[in-house]
Amino acid sequence: MTPASSVIFAIIIFETMFVGAPKAQTLPVCEVLDRLTELNGRTVTISGAFSSGDMGDFLSASPPCSSRINRDGWSWINAISARLDKDPVKFAYFQQQFAQLHSLKQAHPSEKIMATLTGTLHTSSHFKVDRLLHRPMGFTYCVAEIVYSKIGDWKVVAYESGELERLKKDAEHPDAIRIR
């Protein structure tokens, strides 16, 4: 390969990867939950209400899904566990993003924070059941998780009527329920 053809080849690869590549479609949590088998192991961009707690980070369905997600004989809450990609190269980026999130939470304590996360989605078609807890060992309390490497803009949004009560109910009883 000549130097000129190498440059042309590099330009074509660059344009394919960055310029001409179609933008990833942002999917709401409910659509991702409906398409778990299809999206498992793929890079996805998901939007939802972002929350953090003792058990980790989550993207909850907002607006709410019509019902809980049923998978492997269990009924799960409408949320996706969110786990940060621990790539040290991205440390400064995430530090800046979470500083912005903290500022938004302080300024808007009674409103939800919407986020768009991009990363790899993981789920399972079968979950081992913990014999002591009598619940499936999912991703914390969720049927799926996204290992995210990018955060879209944070947005502050008012809760819809009844939405905060539903989220509190899910937080009080997050366990998957056996479908009989």
Tens-digit pLDDT profile for residues 95-152: 899 899 999 999 999 999 999 999 999 999 989 888 887 788 889 889 999 999 999 8
Residue 144 counted as domain residue: yes
Residue 8 counted as domain residue: no
Residue 60 counted as domain residue: yes
Residue 73 counted as domain residue: yes
Gyration radius of the chain's alpha carbons: 19
| 80 or 135, which is more confident | 80
Residue 14 counted as domain residue: no
pLDDT in the model for residue 111: 93
| Domain span holding position 99 | 24-178
Please provide the average confidence, as pLDDT, over all residues in the chain.
Answer: 84
Residue 146 counted as domain residue: yes
Residue 16 counted as domain residue: no
Its pTM stands at 0.81
Asked if residue 17 has pLDDT above 50, the reply is: no
Domains in the chain, number: 1
Residue 1 counted as domain residue: no
